[in-house]
């Protein structure tokens, strides 16, 4: 018998090189798909690396703020007390500080005047920095903020004389130096530093009004108890008031892991991973569906499923690496310029490594199903799919009238599985944007300010350096007379007592603390109960509530000092200060927030004879008369010493100035997330138009005009967008509502009203519609450049 030699097929030998060549040529033939995949991966890589790099920068910046600054603050010190602190062997530095206060100038600005020595300027270098010159020494010298000089004395410089025109500083002063203050650009209050020679000559000078910002030696080798114990021993030794502590230092040094930041980054990574997977998988599925005949032909030439899978995987991996490199580079570099004070190379490298791992996993998950789909393709299946596509015009109901609308509708419904897949992938972008923009509204400056102004846009409070118990005995500035003056202002509707407070000190074992003690009233009782983390509300006059972060347990006996009297009380409960809005403080930094709560009977026992404990009022007014009410309140309070005014608008500006970078970053992330849906829509529309060129040419050959063809294509695209809107509403609204409920409860202590992000969602869907119209128009014009005979000959 004749020996029949076996014909070697292309895929029977070692085909690694052949597979690489096929993958390379496949990539060269699908530039549109390649661009879409690379953009999607780059977008995901950018979002993850940018979020990680920004988080690293912010954490490092906070670490820089606490490094080598201060741990404790002693108040109400004399110059002798200051010298004693500086001589302590365990104290490395003690910065000397004196707050003079704020004064209005005849020039129209408000100035904040302080005294600080060189040690204090170094300690507070993150808040105030000398940029030129030196601190004042003579009585007629003063250091001014650089932004004040630019606005009110642009031609003056160091050594020149200026006039401030305030009550305490009426004459001329020589500029000894210039300084920059943190967040000063958007502030309406300008900083000034006076000399000690000038300080002691001021009419309101208090010899016991100094503060010491203390930095200990070998503080990194001490734990929290050792640091606080040492500071309290010094206070006892010299008869000083109990020190307060730099909370950021203790939370960063001894606090637990910041699970909030970790959770936010984890959620962002999950959101980006989901969006990226859906979009990339959709792009590959459409690509494989369009090349189904090519895969069938490869199978007939002997290609195995494994070989086709390897070919498609190589395409996906190459495109994935291109996208990862394109996205991570700007994602890591941009935070360096946004937060230059938070430079941390090792942290950036870790963020880079995490981004690469997440994005590689995303690409692998995305192409997994399309790879199997390509490998399972047979020649007969490829022929059958092609015939179905070209035989579309014959699969219609006989009674159906053909026009652009019905043809577009038939295209939209021709492949239900594909329609569902495309709609879901488009909706993911909308759902992600809805959730992201909902969170964005939760952190808006107006929303943050509303946390501190629950009843109106103004707060009037007691503002004095004098001990509060003495003020209450001498005559509470928040008197009935002042209340009636405010109520007489046109536009003011009500004056609500927000807080009844007094300054306290307490000692529980070795722990010494103090701060504002608020009265438990019917108005704040319910909020306090919700804010309790341990214990219960006080049942007698000898029970108190303390914050849960001070380390004192429920049932501990406490020596409470108030108004010169001391009494032993018991800690009945602990509360979370972030969840009790009734005790929020005043001013930008809110140093006078409630640090403990006492029954009314205890107030009356320790401060007998005081009938008015009001500390803060909420002013309810007509929003339409906001500016007039503000002006009237300021005029009234100018004539009542010891009072201060907080306004909603000022706090909004403060939130905007301090959080503007974070807010804009969140806006950018929300908009970038929406690009996943936009990329998917562009790819879907272009793929449909390219795969249906033959059908469109046939329709045009039987009389369909360009205008009608445009209408048909647009109807199909609008169908996807409308279905996307419906699915986004059905799935995204409940998810965003739950997300807002949980986040707002964590941020504000209780859930706030849900606000639908109309602007962002309307912009997103209008953009989808505009893209659909423009792509359809572009495709029609492109097809119009060729004759019908050329298109039919080329595609047949």
Q: Which residue has the higher pLDDT, 536 or 788?
A: 536
Q: Which residues contact 276 (CB under 8 A, 6 or more apart)?
A: 40, 41, 43, 44, 359, 362, 366, 676
Helix, strand, coil percent values for the chain (each to nearest 5) = 55, 20, 25
Confidence check: pLDDT of 200 > 80 = yes
Work out the average pLDDT over 734-747. Answer: 79
Q: Which residue has the higher pLDDT, 148 or 280?
A: 148
Is residue 594 within 8 A of residue 513, CB to CB? The reply is: no
Residue closest to 70 by CA, chosen among 258, 239, 217:
217
CA distance 328 to 42: 7
What pLDDT shows up at residue 388? 42
Residue 367 has pLDDT above 80, yes or no: no
650 compared with 159, residue with greater pLDDT: 159
pLDDT greater at residue 200 or residue 414: 200
Structure confidence by residue, pLDDT tens digits, 230-245: 888 888 888 887 787 8
Q: Is residue 193 over pLDDT 50? A: yes
Q: What is the pLDDT of residue 213?
A: 92
> Pick from 665, 679, 669: which is nearest to 428 by CA?
679
pLDDT at 670: 66
Helix segments in 67-98, DSSP class H: 79-86
Of the ranges 320-329, 332-341, 540-549, 738-747, which one carries the lowest mean pLDDT score?
Answer: 738-747
pLDDT of amino acid 395: 47
Q: What is the mean pLDDT of residues 730-751?
A: 79
**pLDDT of 212:** 92
The pLDDT mean for the chain works out to 78
| Confidence (pLDDT) at 288 | 67
pLDDT band at 36 (very low <50, low <70, confident <90, very high): confident
> In the chain, what are the domain boundaries?
10-68+246-390, 72-221, 398-453+660-796, 464-641
- Is 69's pLDDT higher than 70? yes
pLDDT tens string 638-692: 888 888 888 888 888 777 766 656 666 666 776 777 777 677 777 777 766 666 6
Which residues is 560 bridged to in the sheet?
A: 506, 567
pLDDT at 385: 46
Q: Using CA atoms, how far apart are residues 510 and 242, in angstroms rounded to an integer?
A: 12
User: How do strand 643-647 and strand 511-519 relate by DSSP bridges?
Assistant: unpaired
Confidence of residue 214 (pLDDT cuts 50, 70, 90): very high
Q: What is the pLDDT of residues 272-310, one digit of tens each?
A: 666 667 677 777 666 666 666 666 666 666 667 777 777
% of residues, the chain, pLDDT over 90: 14
pLDDT for 199 equals 92
Percentage above 70 pLDDT, the chain: 74
At 83, list the tokens.
Answer: 């010298």
Q: Rounded mean pLDDT of 467-481?
A: 87
The 8-class DSSP code of residue 562 comes to E
3-state SS class at 598: strand
Is 286 exposed, middle or buried, given 0-12, 13-18 or 19+ CB atoms closer than 10 A?
A: buried
Residue 324: pLDDT over 90: no
Q: Which pLDDT belongs to residue 364?
A: 80
- The structure's pTM equals 0.58
Confidence at 719, pLDDT banded by 50, 70, 90: confident
**Residue-wise pLDDT tens digits, 79-96:** 999 999 988 989 999 999
The yes-or-no verdict on residue 321 having pLDDT over 80 is yes
pLDDT band at 42 (very low <50, low <70, confident <90, very high): confident
At 252 the pLDDT is: 63
Per mean pLDDT, which range of 179-188, 518-527, 625-634, 757-766 is the poorest? Answer: 179-188
Is the pLDDT assigned to residue 483 strictly greater than 70? yes
Predicted local confidence at residue 290, as pLDDT:
60
Give dist(CA 681, CA 451) in Å, integer. Answer: 40
Confidence band for 393, pLDDT divided at 50, 70 and 90: very low
**Alpha carbons 788 and 404: distance in angstroms, whole number:** 19
Question: Residues 457-480: what's their mean pLDDT?
Answer: 86
* Lowest model confidence (mean pLDDT) among 30-44, 331-345, 531-545: 30-44
pLDDT at 415: 61
161-175, 266-280, 609-623, 758-772: the lowest-pLDDT one: 266-280
- Segment 693-700 shows an average pLDDT of 66
- Pick from 342-346, 389-393, 679-683, 772-776: least confident: 389-393
**Cα–Cα distance measured from residue 411 to residue 420, given in angstroms and rounded to the nearest whole number:** 13
Provide the CB-side half-sphere exposure for 569 (13 A, CA): 31
Residue 104 and residue 448: Cα distance in Å, rounded? 28
Could you read off the pLDDT of 562-603 as tens digits, one per residue? 877 888 999 999 988 877 877 888 876 677 888 899 998 888
């Amino acid at each position: 018998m004749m020996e029949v030699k076996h014909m070697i097929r292309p895929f029977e030998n070692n085909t690694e090189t052949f597979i690489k060549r096929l993958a390379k040529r496949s990539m060269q033939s699908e530039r549109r798909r390649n661009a879409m995949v690379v953009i999607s991966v780059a977008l995901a890589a950018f979002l993850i690396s940018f979020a990680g790099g920004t988080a690293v920068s912010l954490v490092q910046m906070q670490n820089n703020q606490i490094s080598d600054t201060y741990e404790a603050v002693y108040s109400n010190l004399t110059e002798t007390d200051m010298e004693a602190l500086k001589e302590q062997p365990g104290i490395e530095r003690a910065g000397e500080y004196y707050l003079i206060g704020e004064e209005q100038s005849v020039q129209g600005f408000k100035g904040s005047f302080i005294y600080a020595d060189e040690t204090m300027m170094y300690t507070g270098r993150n808040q105030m920095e000398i940029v030129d010159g030196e601190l004042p020494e003579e009585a007629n010298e003063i250091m001014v903020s650089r932004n004040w000089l630019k606005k009110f004395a642009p031609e003056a410089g160091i050594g020149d004389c200026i006039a401030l025109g305030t009550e305490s500083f009426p004459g001329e002063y020589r500029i000894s130096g210039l300084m920059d203050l943190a967040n000063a650009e958007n502030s309406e209050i300008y900083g000034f530093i006076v000399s000690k020679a000038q300080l002691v000559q001021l009419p309101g000078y208090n010899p016991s009004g100094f503060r010491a910002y203390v930095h200990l030696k070998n503080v990194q080798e001490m734990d929290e108890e050792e640091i606080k114990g040492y500071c309290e021993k010094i206070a006892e030794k010299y008869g000083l008031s109990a020190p307060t502590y730099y909370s950021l230092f203790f939370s960063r040094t001894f606090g637990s892991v910041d699970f909030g930041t970790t959770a936010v980054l984890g959620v962002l990574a999950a959101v980006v991973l989901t969006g990226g997977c859906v979009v990339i998988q959709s792009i590959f599925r459409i690509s494989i569906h369009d090349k189904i005949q090519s895969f069938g032909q490869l199978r007939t030439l002997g290609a195995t499923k494994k070989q086709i899978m390897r070919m498609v995987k190589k395409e996906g991996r190459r495109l994935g690496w291109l996208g990862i490199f394109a996205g991570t580079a700007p994602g890591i570099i941009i935070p360096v310029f946004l937060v230059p004070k938070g430079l941390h190379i090792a942290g950036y490298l870790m963020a880079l490594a995490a981004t690469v791992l997440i994005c590689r996993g995303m690409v692998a998950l995305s192409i997994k199903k399309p790879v199997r789909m390509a490998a399972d393709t047979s020649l007969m299946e490829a022929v059958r799919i092609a015939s179905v596509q070209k035989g579309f015009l014959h699969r219609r109901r006989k009674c159906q009238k053909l026009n652009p609308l019905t043809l577009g509708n038939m295209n939209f419904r021709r492949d239900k599985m594909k329609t569902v897949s495309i709609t879901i992938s488009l909706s993911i972008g909308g759902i992600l944007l809805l959730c992201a923009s909902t969170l964005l509204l939760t952190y808006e400056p107006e929303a943050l300010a509303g946390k501190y102004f629950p009843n109106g846009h103004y707060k009037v409070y007691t503002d004095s350096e004098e001990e509060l118990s003495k003020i209450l005995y001498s005559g509470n500035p928040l008197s009935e007379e002042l209340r009636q003056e405010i109520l007489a202002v046109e536009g003011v509707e009500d004056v609500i007592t927000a807080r009844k407070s007094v300054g306290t000190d307490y000692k529980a074992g070795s722990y010494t603390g103090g701060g504002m003690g608020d009265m438990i009233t019917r108005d704040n009782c319910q909020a306090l109960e919700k804010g309790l983390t341990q214990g219960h509300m006080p049942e007698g006059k000898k029970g108190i509530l303390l914050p849960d972060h001070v380390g004192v347990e429920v049932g501990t006996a406490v020596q409470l000092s108030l108004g010169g009297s001391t009494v032993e009380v018991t800690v009945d409960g602990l509360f979370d200060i972030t969840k009790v809005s009734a005790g929020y403080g005043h001013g930008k930094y809110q140093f006078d927030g409630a640090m403990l709560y006492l029954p009314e009977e205890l107030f009356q026992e320790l401060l007998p004879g005081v009938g008015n404990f009001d500390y803060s009022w909420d002013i309810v007014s007509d929003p339409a008369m906001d500016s007039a009410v503000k002006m009237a309140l300021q005029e009234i309070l100018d004539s009542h010493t010891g009072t201060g005014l907080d306004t909603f608008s000022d706090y909004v500006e403060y939130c905007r100035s301090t959080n503007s970078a974070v807010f804009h970053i969140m806006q950018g992330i929300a908009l970038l997330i929406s690009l996943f849906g936009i990329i998917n829509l562009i790819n879907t529309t272009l793929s449909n138009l390219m795969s249906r060129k033959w059908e469109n040419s046939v329709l045009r050959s039987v009389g369909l005009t360009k205008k009608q063809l445009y209408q048909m294509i647009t109807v199909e695209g609008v169908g996807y967008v409308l279905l996307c809107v419906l699915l986004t509403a059905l799935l995204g609204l409940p998810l965003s509502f739950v997300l807002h409920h949980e986040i707002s409860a964590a941020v504000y202590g209780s859930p706030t009203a849900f606000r639908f992000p109309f602007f962002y969602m309307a912009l997103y869907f209008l953009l989808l519609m505009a893209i659909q119209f423009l792509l359809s128009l572009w495709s029609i014009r492109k097809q119009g450049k060729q004759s019908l005979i050329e298109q039919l000959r080329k595609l047949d």
